[in-house]
Amino acid sequence: MNAAQGAEALTAAEKISHYEYEEKPWMTYDRYDSSLDEYDNKSLYIIHTHLDAIGHLRGLQLKFEQFTDHVKDLRPDIASVEFSFTLDENANIKILASPVELSEVDIDWLTKEINNFDGLRATAHAHSKTLMAMIDHLEPYKGKYTLNRYNFQSTMFYGDNLRVPWGDLQRNFLQKLTHYVEKKPQTLLDTYA
């Protein structure tokens, strides 16, 4: 990629509606109720963020199951390969697979198909934004981890996580989240100053 293409890609990435940190999102939240106090709105925000995470993840699981059936119909030669995927900094799905199992041509085909498949990319993007909000504002993650559009692809991998039973889906995903997400460095306070 040359410098012009790199700059163009960065410009395109900036145009995508990514999650952006807000100090108190519950005060500008679309479900904000001006008749409630800030504490109540924060509580509603936390509840809705958890529910959104579960809903997006379940929707993503269902769409991924449909996509794997789609692959079986179109490319039975690669249907048995269990691949994973993540989102790059431009919110495009990036296929993660061993070059031994899938050729570059197969990975390119899968990438094109999955990014264009029935809202799967949009659902993954919505889920990623919810995860970032959880990391920034909800306990036990708040202030301990860093998750953003630039480190998401080296942190969160969907394939194996979506192949678990529905009852274990959210718990399994949150365990993986705390295991793989980049931890913020602990600040050291000088108590002798």
Give me the residue spans of the domains in the chain. 35-183
Nearest to 130 by CA among 39, 12, 36, 29: 29
CA distances from 145 to 11, 26, 97, 186 (A): 27, 20, 27, 10
For 65, the 3-state DSSP assignment is helix
Report helix, strand or coil for 86.
strand
pLDDT given for residue 192 in this prediction:
52
Give the pTM. 0.81
Q: Residue 1's pLDDT is what? A: 41
How big is the chain, counted in residues? 193
Which residues of the chain fall below pLDDT 70?
Answer: 1-16, 29-33, 186-193
25 to 21, 43, 46, 64, 131: CA distances (angstroms): 8, 11, 10, 30, 14
Give the pLDDT score at 167: 79
pLDDT given for residue 31 in this prediction: 67
Contacts of residue 117, defined as CB under 8 A and 6 or more positions apart, other chains included, come to 63, 66, 67, 70
Distance CA 148, CA 145 (A): 10
